[in-house]
Amino acid sequence: MADPESVARGICLRALTGTPKTRQQLADLLAKKGVPEEAAEAVLDRYTEVGLIDDAAYARAWVSSRQAGRGLARRALSSELRAKGVDAEVAAAAVDTVDDEDERAAAQRLVERKVPGMRRLDRATATRRLMGMLARKGYNGGMAAAVIREALDSAAADDAAVPEFDDLDEDALLP
């Protein structure tokens, strides 16, 4: 490498063109490409200084996107940010933007989307499957159980309010 800093700048700019990246992700990429550590640090410091790398903004955008789109709980969001190399304090500040009501509403939306497909299952099986889905998304057991109970109770009430077509007497409907 004739000029390692120039190579590092090019690699970082290409990586940042597609999607935002954390400082750690870029550092890992530069190390993988064989850029000397001193050159990588100099470029990363400069890009952080001018605002091309902003882990706090990245974390806020990541939390907003993943919580709204995938319905992830705060615990899962924190874990994902740590895996991406975001500092624990920065990640915690970003995750704190999600409050209890937001988290509960996201869990309710997830469960409401799944309940109609589970009508043929017994309540215990549906509950187990829904609990597993919410656990994988990072929700705690107490909130998950409450949300699932409410959704299944509501679905059962809806089913009771609408008679099954099989139970109808077709002859009674004819003029």
Quote the pLDDT of residue 59.
95
Mean pLDDT, the chain, whole residue set: 88
* 124-133: average pLDDT: 94
**32: Cβ contacts below 8 Å, ≥ 6 apart:** none
Tell me the per-residue pLDDT of 58-113, one tens digit each, with 9 for 90 and over. 999 999 999 888 999 999 999 999 999 999 999 999 999 999 999 999 999 999 99
Query: How many angstroms separate the CA atoms of 126 and 160, rounded?
Result: 18
Q: In this structure, which amino acid lies at residue 55? A: D
49-54, long-range: CB < 8 A, 24+ apart: 52/12, 52/16, 53/16, 53/21, 53/22, 53/23, 53/26, 54/20
pLDDT beyond 60 at 23: yes
What is the C-alpha separation between 53 and 55, in angstroms, rounded? 6
Report the percent of the chain where pLDDT is more than 70. Answer: 89
pLDDT at 156: 77
| pLDDT of amino acid 68 | 85
pLDDT per residue over 136-164, tens digit each?
A: 999 998 999 999 999 998 887 766 544 44
- Domain edges within the chain: 4-53, 54-98, 99-160
| Contact of 148 with 114, CB cutoff 8 Å | no
Residue reference for tokens 């009771």: 160
CATH number of 4-53: 1.10.10
Backbone angles phi, psi at 140, to 5 degrees: -75, 160
